[in-house]
Amino acid sequence: MNTPSIEEIESNIPPHLLFKGLQGYPYSFFLDSVMGREKLGRFSFLGCEPFLVFKSKRGSVSLEWNDGRRELLKSNPFLVLKDLFQRFTVFPPPAWEYGIPFLAGSVGYFGYDMKDFIEKLPDIAKDDMGLPDCVMGFYDSALIFDNMKKKYYLAGVEFEGIRTGARTKLKRALSSKGFTTFPPPAWEYGISFAAGGSLRSNFTKADYMEAVQKAKEYIKEGDIYQVNLSQRFEAGLKCEPYELYLRLRDASPAPFASYLNFKDVIIISSSPERFLMKRGSYIETRPIKGTSPRSGDPLIDEFNEISLKGSYKDRAEHIMIVDLERNDLGRICEYGSVKPTEFIALEKYSTVFHLVSTVSGRLKKSIGPVDCLMAAFPGGSITGAPKVRSMEIIEELEPVKRSLYTGAIGYISFDGNMDTSIVIRTIVVKGDKLYFQVGGGIVADSDPEKEYNETLDKARGILCALDLDALTTVDPGGLQPV
């Protein structure tokens, strides 16, 4: 029986500063709860140096072990992951006094195109980024920061034949005195220009509006009730990626922020939306559907808040997605246990208001975290209803593969707990370029221009982090200097 150890360690270093000393290690991760501490973001997690890196691309799976071994498999990646978690299982101590949900385990991302191992879908859009569909690091140690108690815990587990230096690196980071003397971020001195060259979209405004109109025609014909359509921006990167993360953290704080340094790609996320959270036999999802912009004027904000809460369109759209999520969870939960425990609540973020619901259930026996992912992936709030037909239409109307966008980021603990976010408000850094994607739900009475503007509202936090907060300077589809 593998039982993890938990050690409480005294340190006054804030986790976002402490991670500056770890972020250079390949496959280092920071799951950073910046807001919602009491309800959503009590714990933050940091780690590095996995003993195994799992990667998959179109049914080809590679297992890269830290001793240099590499295994290549042709298989459904979800099933390979399921086998790995059955191999690496730990059991929490009998007296579980800390309530920590992550006792070391796997951290990484599931790209949107992992959908193809759940449903048979068309393959039309161009895969221009060429990133793995899924990357998960397996870590035998992790640092946990309790955002409420302001305490650090070091969790670790020993598996036979597996040794890493991660625990030593994490303890060394905590004991370092140098982290508290980091200079302020460069932008505090007035140095800006996180993005270089030009900002470019894969849609012109006219083309995006035409795609919205085509989606409305599908709705009129009865194919779907709603569908999520997105556009992707790209630009050059002119600052260090972790500095960009800190900028985004300041501009757009979120309960599911994250930074993954996954060697060939760096992921910088400030997601407000939980996908799936599993604690024992309890599972929940928190779909967001319904958005209104915020401004610096309290009166305008109050008007937008009231308008969103009273919007028939947004409520109808939201209810459809809640029903979809109830159906997804119903596949894996005990009969009668799936229900909304929070319904159409308004949440405030730095640049937008959102309508959010929580749908929860009690899992059937022998249902593990990977089973949960296979039942519900990808999230209904960023695909549409019905889900399968919506994904077919997304593949037709969006010109490039979504890659990470609207997939999931998070952890699966070796004891079976899991927490993942929807990949939105996320920047992907590949080489010297950065990419981010924004979208919105299209329904029968959607106005194409308003839908286009909503994508820009959702991009405001990222654009601010990139010093591109003047949306009028963005000319999607062209090479507009910024």
| Catalytic site positions | 273, 289
Distance CA 299, CA 458 (A): 20
Strand 28-32 relative to strand 256-261, pairing: antiparallel
Q: Is the dihedral of CA 119, 369, 425, 302 positive or negative?
A: positive
Cβ-based neighbours of 354, under 8 Å, separated by 6 or more: 272, 288, 290, 291, 346, 347
Query: Encoding tokens for residue 446?
Result: 């959607």
Backbone angles phi, psi at 258, to 5 degrees: -160, 155
Distance CA 410, CA 337 (A): 25
Distance CA 468, CA 482 (A): 7
Of the candidates 66, 161, 156, the residue with the CA atom closest to the CA atom of residue 414: 156
The torsion defined by the Cα of 11, 12, 15 and 17, in degrees rounded to 10, comes to -120
Query: Residues 213-232, buried b or exposed e (16+ Cβ, 10 A)?
Result: ebbbebbeeeebbbbbbbbb
Cβ-based neighbours of 269, under 8 Å, separated by 6 or more: 256, 257, 258, 259, 409, 421, 423, 425, 426, 427
Distance CA 42, CA 150 (A): 10
What SS3 state is found at 283? strand
Distance CA 412, CA 138 (A): 9
Query: Residues 349-366, buried b or exposed e (16+ Cβ, 10 A)?
Result: bbbbbbbbbbbbbbbeee
